[in-house]
Structure 1
Amino acid sequence: MTDVLVMPRHLAIRILHEAQIAQPESIRGVVAARAGEPAAFLKNRDAVADGDALWANLWSHPQAEAIPLTSELRDGLLSLVVSLNTKGVLEMRAWRLIAGTAQEQVLKIRD
């Protein structure tokens, strides 16, 4: 059974906005967590503050689906992929590399 990942709406909106304004380039960064909850999008992994933890790697695919290449994933680490290749709707999906296979995780957005 897969755990459900939950992200605050304000953070999801920030990430999608960053991906949108970067077009046609992709964005790369990380999501930092405070007290186990995703809390901030950072463009540099080194910017994760003391007391915070790495929650996920993140990047966008401006011209492709929100499906990672296996080579983009790191074993066990959560990865978020944003797609801008949709008509009027931005898409963000969560993935983990488990036993060499990309497996999608359930990602929910909460208010």
Structure 2
Amino acid sequence: MNEVLVMPRNLAIRILHAAQIAQPESIRGAVYARGGEPASFVQGDDAAARGDGLWAVLWSHPQAEAVPAASELKVGLLSLVVSLNIKGVLEMRAWRLVDGAAQEQVLTIRD
């Protein structure tokens, strides 16, 4: 289940901006899809509870790599992790739990 995931650039910018202005705190939230494509970001601990159209859950690691612990991932859910730990660069990576281990997914940004 290692498909290429595509996110619109404007959505990626909104997510990275939210993570950047929240630091040194982390953010939690969810990305929702419209027509199968990620379209909106809702911030908050309970954002994923809405469920309908959920594309991915998201959180940031202000001072760590964009790599989750397997315990942070949920079976069947795509997880996005944003890192602010890289000087001058923000990083967002996608992960799935596969056979009990975190497996990175290919995430591309399109205009």
TM bracket (short chain): over 0.9
SS at match of 2:38: strand
- Once superposed, what is the RMSD of the aligned Cα atoms? 1.3
* Alignment-derived partner of residue 55 in structure 1: 55
**Cα offset for 1:76?**
2.1
* Alignment-derived partner of residue 84 in structure 1: 84
* Alignment-derived partner of residue 28 in structure 1: 28
* Alignment-derived partner of residue 48 in structure 2: 45
Which one-letter code corresponds to 2:105 in the other structure?
Answer: Q
Q: Which runs of 5+ in 1 are unaligned?
A: none
- Structure 1 ranges of 4+ moved more than 4 A: none
SS at match of 1:84: strand
* Alignment-derived partner of residue 106 in structure 1: 106
* Alignment-derived partner of residue 9 in structure 1: 9
**Cα offset for 1:18?**
0.0
Which one-letter code corresponds to 2:13 in the other structure?
Answer: I
Q: How far, CA to CA, are the matches of 2:101 and 2:2 in structure 1?
A: 15
SS at match of 2:29: strand
Q: Which protein is richer in strand relative to its size? A: 2
Q: How far, CA to CA, are the matches of 1:70 and 1:46 in structure 2?
A: 20
SS at match of 1:85: strand
The percent of aligned pairs where both chains have the same amino acid is: 75
Q: Which runs of 5+ in 2 are unaligned?
A: none
Which one-letter code corresponds to 2:7 in the other structure?
Answer: M
**Cα offset for 1:2?**
2.0
